[in-house]
Structure formats: C-alpha cells, structure tokens
A and B are shown apart, each in its own frame.
Chain A
Amino acid sequence: MKAISELKLPEDVRYTDDHEWAKKNGNVVRIGISDYAQDQLGDIVFVELPEVGSTFDKGEEFGTVESVKAVSELYMPIGGEVTAINEALADEPERVNSDPYDSGWMMEIKASDPAELEALKSKADYLEMLKG
C-alpha cells in the first residue's frame, strides 16, 4: 500500500470524496479514479461503464470497478451526458492501476453544469481528507 506521500495526485484534476477525479479536457470533462482508489482496490480486473449517450446526475452511480478483492461503485463527480468511454479498458483494465489519470481514464462527459466541476476538491483539499 502506498504511503500518502507516494500517491500521485496531479494539480490539474479535481477530486471527489469517493475518490473519483474529473478534469476539463476541451469541451468535455474526463473522469477516472484516483491513485489512492486504485491502490486501495488492488488489481483491477474489470471496469463496467455506461453507454455513450446516457445521462447521470452528480453523485449518481455510473458503473462499477471490479478488483480481485471486491466490486465497487463509481459515482459521477458532476452531472452530464456520456460522450465517450475508454474502450481500451475492456482489454486492459490494469491501466487504471498503472496510469489512473492518463491511459486509465474511464469516460468523458458533457457537463450539465460546469460550475459543479469547480466545486470539487482541489489536490490540497483531497490530500487533507486522505490524511484525515
């Protein structure tokens, strides 16, 4: 298990209490899970994502991430419509472990309210929460 000081926590993404991240990427917002989350879950063996075109509210469950240990829910950091999912995770779910913020991204959405993104935790706030 990584010590908190070893966690990769980029400055340019926003975090949720449930350990998802969201990042503005042009007109869309990319979503994934944090380095802390993947480390806690262990080997990720399956990621269940919604269909492109589905719409979810902030906080709604949009999929599951399955590790050898358990099946965990994924929650929307902000509301919006799914515009793309990371198809590569179907064959290589381990990308979520090895590269949670880049090639291990999960989906892109069109935000229904861009202000929701700003309301998420900054790196500093998220780190504070992890330190408890």
Chain B
Amino acid sequence: MKTATKRTPLNNWHRSQGANMADFGGYDMPLWYSSVKEEHLAVLTGAGIFDTSHMAAVIVDGSGAAALLQHCFTNDLDACMGPARKPLSPGRCVYGAFLDKKGQPIDDAIVFFMEADSYMVVVNAGMGGAIADHLRRNLGGREAAVTDLTDRLGKMDIQGPAAARILGRVLSDPEAVFAGMPYFSFKGHIDPTSPLADEVRLDDGTPILLSRTGYTGEFGFEIFLAPDKIQRLWERLLEAGQASGIKPCGLAARDSLRAGAVLPLSHQDIGHWPFINHPWPFALPFNADQTGFTKDFIGRAALEQHTDFSFTQAFAGRDLRKITAGEGSRVIDADGQTIGTVLTCATDMGIGRHGGEIFSVASPDKPAGFTARGLCCGFVKVNRKLSVGQHVDIADSRRKITVTIVDDVRPHRTARNPMADMI
C-alpha cells in the first residue's frame, strides 16, 4: 500500500522558491533552496530557519502522566537536569528515547514538562501515531490521556548565533522572554487558552511555544505554533534577519549540521539494535559511576542482560570526501578486517583541518588565512570499542577513505552559549 506524501503548511512556499524537494518520513520536504553550503554556513555565522512541521508532538496529560513517561522513556525525569541530576521542572525539556522490550529504539524524543501532570513529547516525522500507541499500550492502569497532535501543530526552527536577535524583532517583550532561558528550557504553550500562552507572544499577539533546543548544535530555538500562523512568522523572520544573513534551510543542511554536532538521526544512527554503547549516554538513566540505571523502564532488562553489543562511534575524515553510508558500507581495521558499517557519512562544510586540528569558520582562534573546505564526518557501528584517535578505513563500493574516531567534530558550537552573550 502506498500512502500519499504529506505536505507541511509551508509546502507551497518551498515550491514557489524552487526548492529541491524530496520525500522525508512521508512528507514532501525541501532538501535545499539554492545552495546547501550557504545554508549550512548561514547557521554557523548568522541564522537559518527550518521547516520542521513534519515532526510530531504527542501530549500526555493526567495524574499518571509522569509515571507513564518514567516507565516508557529512557531518561529519568526525576534525575536528569544538570550535573546534580535534579528532577525535570516545568519549563524544562530533556532528550531520550522510547525503547521496546528488546532495548531497541522505537524513536528518540524530547519530553517537555509543560506544567503539573502535563507533558509534550516531540518525536520524528511520522512517529506520532507509533509513540502514542506505545504509550497507550503501556498505560497499565495509570491515569493518563495520550493525544497525538500529528499534523495539527506547526513547527519551525531558527538556529544560529543571530537567532535571538532576529527573533526578538518579532516578539512582544523579547527581554522578558529571553530572561532566564537556558539550553533545553522553553516558555509559552501550544494551547492559546492556557495561561502559559501569555509567556511568549509574537508582536501580533500570536502565542507560541519557544524552546531553546534544535538539531544543529548551534544556538537557537524550536518554535511551535498554530499551523495557519507559520507562514507569516516564516516570512517575517526572513525579513527581520535579512541584515544578519538569514537563510531558509533545507534538510540537507540540517543533516550536515547535525552530523558535525554529533547528533543522531533516528532510524539511521539509532535503530534496530540495543540503545547503548553510543555517543549519547546522557539519554540513558545511568547512575553516577555508569554502572547501572537509576530507574526502571521498558528495555532496561535487555540493555542490562546483553554483553555482545555493537558500539556506535563518531568519526571525522581527513578532508571533505565521503562515502555512501548504509548497507554496503564497511568499516575496516588496520588488519584489513571488516568490523562494522557506516551509519552516517556527511560533509560539514563549515569546518576543515589545519595542522591536524579541526577549526570552524566560527572558531575565534582559527589560524590566519584558514578556509573551511569541509570535512566528512558521521557515525560508524562496529563490533568492538575503538579508542578516540584510532584510525580506521571506511569504504563503499567505489571509494575507501581513512577516518579518525573522535568524541567531537565541529568545534566552537554555540548551542550552549549563555543567552546574555547572544542577545
């Protein structure tokens, strides 16, 4: 059975701009407008906006909502904030995944704690139904209502060092909005009748939910609002950001930006294998010495019982040349043995090597005359743990390149910068 490709509220806008379109997660989405490279660089040096209305939100309400999420979500809502592992508080959100009993991800997600007994779960394109079903099936007598808002909520992201300055021009009372808004916090509400909706309004009165999160590794926001309000906001931000070099960005730039920021793509970097031994341990409820978990959750037993897991690790190449990841790709060790496959291989066009070190176009300490030629990077899944700094070859049917196992790729990312430095 073939289902029709869905369209986001911005679809006509993308097509009118001549965007190169493709199916992603069942949605007709822009890959790029005129230049992926310029879009990628705009997010490192100015700002970019992304249509992310293909993503889905699921609302979990009720006195048992917290307990249901504790049971289904990998992160520990009672101990996930900061080094002190404080409980998630209203206005804060946290990354994690929903696993099946085999410990394999159904999808990754960010859980937003809206207010007492009310959470919003943001998942990937087309996954709203699956996650809502999973939550309902695991209610186990808990008092909670699960509402899938797929295609009922508009979403766009503004990312880049100029994001707050641009957004501030279209907000009512930006100073109050940006005050006390650390990384992974949010304000406002998706329901215009909620008293919380007054926390963030556009200057035309439109309520939005504004979250200091994103998928680029750079400073910025995810914005949730009514679908019929999104095009106006999109166009106003493009206008407000003109002097800052704002660009509409497609999924190709989104992919290369997230690869350089060592962020996983669900169903590609996390998938049908146990959700452990990967570069995102903060998504699991590990105790302080990483020997066990601080809470019970679906998939826990599987993660604890197995010992023959594969390892997912980030790599960076020597130059911008890449290979085709996925089936048919291979990771080859120094002895010529195939030890795994390549999950993601993308080119971060904003970085390059100089004297063995990686610099970004945004690095304050970049050497004189440095030009970013781009660097291939991504994730490998291998059958043994490799050490940071170790070289392996990755290959597809055409090309073999040598890459280095790393714990980070693009330096000087801005996502966690203090708000005060960005407004």
Does chain A have a CB within 8 A of B72? no
CB atoms of A69 and B18 under 8 A apart: no
A residues 42-78 with Cβ under 8 Å of B?
A: 42-43, 45-46, 64, 66-71, 73
Does chain A have a CB within 8 A of B35? yes
Q: Digit string of A24-46 for contact with B (CB within 8 Å is 1, else 0)? A: 00000000000000011011011
Does chain A have a CB within 8 A of B358? no
Of the candidates A1, A67, A94, which one forms a contact with B18 in the assembled complex, judged by CB atoms under 8 Å apart?
A: A1
CB atoms of A1 and B347 under 8 A apart: no
Given contacts A68-B37, A68-B347, contact A46 B252 (CB under 8 A): no
**Distance in Å: Cβ of B177 to nearest Cβ of chain A:** 34
CB atoms of B349 and A45 under 8 A apart: yes
Q: In the assembly, what is the distance between CA of A1 and CA of B40, in Å?
A: 18
Interfacial chain B residues near A66, Cβ < 8 Å? 320-322
**Distance in Å: Cβ of A65 to nearest Cβ of chain B:** 12
**Distance in Å: Cβ of B213 to nearest Cβ of chain A:** 24
Does chain B have a CB within 8 A of A2? yes
Q: In the assembly, what is the distance between CA of A101 and CA of B202, in Å?
A: 48
CB atoms of A1 and B37 under 8 A apart: no
Closest A residue, CB atoms, query B253: A68
Q: In the assembly, what is the distance between CA of A25 and CA of B252, in Å?
A: 37
Q: Digit string of A85-127 for contact with B (CB within 8 Å is 1, else 0)? A: 0000000001001000000000000000000000000000000
Q: In the assembly, what is the distance between CA of A46 and CA of B37, in Å?
A: 13
CB atoms of A64 and B324 under 8 A apart: no
**Distance in Å: Cβ of A42 to nearest Cβ of chain B:** 5
Of the candidates B21, B31, B324, which one forms a contact with A42 in the assembled complex, judged by CB atoms under 8 Å apart?
A: B31
Of the candidates B20, B324, B374, which one forms a contact with A1 in the assembled complex, judged by CB atoms under 8 Å apart?
A: B20
B residues 307-357 with Cβ under 8 Å of A?
A: 320-324, 346-347, 349
CB atoms of B347 and A45 under 8 A apart: yes
CB atoms of B19 and A42 under 8 A apart: no
CB atoms of B36 and A46 under 8 A apart: no
CB atoms of A69 and B31 under 8 A apart: yes
B residues 1-49 with Cβ under 8 Å of A?
A: 18-21, 31-32, 35-38, 40
Given contacts A1-B18, A1-B21, A42-B252, contact A68 B324 (CB under 8 A): no
CB atoms of A71 and B252 under 8 A apart: no
Q: In the assembly, what is the distance between CA of A80 and CA of B59, in Å?
A: 64
Interfacial chain B residues near A73, Cβ < 8 Å? 398
CB atoms of A46 and B321 under 8 A apart: yes
CB atoms of B320 and A70 under 8 A apart: no
CB atoms of A69 and B320 under 8 A apart: no
CB atoms of A71 and B324 under 8 A apart: yes
Q: Digit string of A1-39 for contact with B (CB within 8 Å is 1, else 0)? A: 111000000000000000000000000000000000001
Does chain A have a CB within 8 A of B399? yes
Interfacial chain A residues near B323, Cβ < 8 Å? 71
Does chain A have a CB within 8 A of B256? yes
Closest B residue, CB atoms, query A69: B252
CB atoms of A64 and B252 under 8 A apart: no
Q: In the assembly, what is the distance between CA of A39 and CA of B349, in Å?
A: 19
**Distance in Å: Cβ of A74 to nearest Cβ of chain B:** 12
**Distance in Å: Cβ of B2 to nearest Cβ of chain A:** 20
**Distance in Å: Cβ of A69 to nearest Cβ of chain B:** 6
**Distance in Å: Cβ of A50 to nearest Cβ of chain B:** 14
Q: In the assembly, what is the distance between CA of A84 and CA of B320, in Å?
A: 24
Question: Which of A3, A66, A67, A69 is most buried by chain B, counting CB atoms within 10 A of its CB?
Answer: A69
CB atoms of A42 and B398 under 8 A apart: no
Given contacts A45-B37, A68-B37, contact A2 B18 (CB under 8 A): yes
Q: In the assembly, what is the distance between CA of A43 and CA of B41, in Å?
A: 13
Given contacts A45-B37, A46-B321, A73-B398, contact A68 B252 (CB under 8 A): yes
**Distance in Å: Cβ of A123 to nearest Cβ of chain B:** 22
Q: In the assembly, what is the distance between CA of A43 and CA of B19, in Å?
A: 13
Of the candidates B18, B19, B374, B399, which one forms a contact with A45 in the assembled complex, judged by CB atoms under 8 Å apart?
A: B374
CB atoms of B320 and A45 under 8 A apart: yes
Interfacial chain B residues near A68, Cβ < 8 Å? 32, 36-37, 40, 252, 256, 346-347, 349
CB atoms of B349 and A1 under 8 A apart: no
CB atoms of A1 and B321 under 8 A apart: no
Closest A residue, CB atoms, query B371: A91
Q: In the assembly, what is the distance between CA of A97 and CA of B20, in Å?
A: 15
Interfacial chain B residues near A39, Cβ < 8 Å? 20
CB atoms of B398 and A69 under 8 A apart: no
Top 9 nearest A-B pairs (CB, nearest first) are A68-B36, A43-B37, A1-B20, A43-B36, A43-B35, A42-B36, A45-B320, A42-B32, A45-B374
State the A residues within 8 Å of B (CB): 1-3, 39-40, 42-43, 45-46, 64, 66-71, 73, 94, 97
Further contacts, 12 of them, CB under 8 A, given A68-B37, A69-B252: A42-B32, A43-B35, A45-B374, A46-B321, A66-B320, A67-B36, A68-B32, A68-B256, A69-B36, A71-B324, A73-B398, A94-B37
Can you offer 10 A-B residue contacts whose CB atoms are under 8 A? A39-B20, A42-B31, A42-B35, A42-B36, A43-B349, A66-B320, A67-B36, A68-B32, A69-B31, A69-B252
